[in-house]
Homo-oligomer: A and B are copies of this chain.
Amino acid sequence: MATIKDVARLANVSPSTVSRVLANSPRISEETKRRVRAALEQLNYHPNAFARGLVTNSTGAIGILIPPSAQEFFVNPFFSEWMAGVAEVARQRGVDTVLSTSSRGEIETLDHMIRGRRVDGVLLIGTRKSDPVLHEVAKLRCPAVLLGRPADPSPISWVNNDNRRAAYDATVHLLNLGHRRIGFLGGASDLVVTIDRVAGYRQALLDHGVEPDPRLEVSSFFLEQGGYLGMMRLLAIPDRPSAVLCADDVLAFGGMRAAHELGFEVPGDLAIVGFNDIRLAELAHPALTSVRVHMHELGVRSAELLLEEIAQGKPLQRHVTVHHELVIRYSCGAKPIGTMTT
């Protein structure tokens, strides 16, 4: 395969000159540039990323660190939509996106990527309470941005939506519809996103004079099956909820399946509200009322922020929060009035 020396030889210049032409240095004459570019073309030259990276210490790639515990995210549309946002800006800016789903530990994987110089910065998802990855990121002082907020104070940048407020809004909506026994069906309980959403849910109840009942809060996992199982548990308790706020749409779908199976009508017997507003939410039957969190935009902002950190060469400790809306459809029992923006 053609190296820079081959190009140099062909164009009758030194490798340095070829390199400078590649970088479009102003100190090279137009005439020489032309000659070199012709040679580049003729040999179909593509710089060796290894050699280049070795000296520049930069990769032109960003990493997405997917902890083994979050493999379930992969098939969840909310993740796809987020990743599509990331991919979109990556494409615009000409950087590659590397998925790291190593079966090693997470910090080991992070080291592999950052210390091993495989990426210039990293996008983190699915963080949990006192997540060790965040400490490692802080130690490394590498460009990194987190989807969601860190549980504990951390110097990391993040982009998030206000999950607490969003869950609060959704719960208030159910309260306004007259529900008093409202369940919460969440993902893993140590995920920060779950913590925030359950907090907002509880706060809404308290503000409306209903005492939160721990039996009405169940944790599951972010798959349809998780929603099914969780809803089964919720509907099995003696004084069953008349409404359930689900921390994810796919969870809500599974929950609806459970409800149907048990002979409950949605929303007649059971109101359901989802989260994330994936594209298929409006296709469910009944169409799913859901909190739209703009996963695509979250992805775009995540990637943009990361690329800016990379450009600056350091963590920026910036925080962006993306707004949300409650999209009212049929599963909650209200007549759809469109969206309530917050």
Contact = CB atoms under 8 A, between A and B. Distances in A.
Interface in A193-209: none
A77 B74 CA distance: 10
A54 B50 CA distance: 5
Nearest to A113: B96
A98 interface: yes
A111 interface: yes
Interface stretch (A11-19, A123-131, A280-288, A332-340): A280-288
Given A90-B101, A96-B98, A99-B97, A283 B253 contact: yes
Interface size class of chain A, counting residues whose CB lies under 8 Å from the partner chain: 35 or more
Contacts of A279: 75, 224
Contacts of A66: 87
Contacts of A87: 66, 71, 74, 99, 101
A137 to B, nearest CB: 14
Given A80-B80, A84-B75, A87-B74, A101 B97 contact: yes
Nearest to A57: B50
B98 A102 contact: no
Interface in A52-96: 53-54, 61, 66, 68, 71, 74-77, 79-81, 83-84, 87-88, 90-92, 94, 96
Contacts of A53: 49-50
Contacts of A5: none
Contact of A283 (B76, B113, B118, B256): B256
Contacts of A285: 284-285
Nearest to A51: B54
Nearest to A81: B75
A58 B341 CA distance: 51
A215 interface: no
Interface string A23-49: 000000000000000000000101111
Given A48-B117, A83-B74, A97 B94 contact: no
A100 interface: yes
Given A1-B115, A285-B285, A99 B102 contact: no
A102 B94 contact: yes
A1 to B, nearest CB: 6
Of the candidates A51, A53, A111, A284, the one having the most CB atoms from chain B within 10 angstroms of its own CB is: A53
A79 B197 CA distance: 29
19 contacts: A44-B111, A44-B115, A50-B53, A71-B84, A74-B80, A75-B80, A75-B81, A76-B80, A87-B99, A90-B99, A91-B101, A92-B103, A94-B103, A96-B98, A96-B99, A96-B100, A96-B102, A97-B99, A256-B283
Interface of A: 1, 44, 46-51, 53-54, 61, 66, 68, 71, 74-77, 79-81, 83-84, 87-88, 90-92, 94, 96-104, 111-113, 115-118, 224, 250, 253, 256-257, 279-280, 282-285
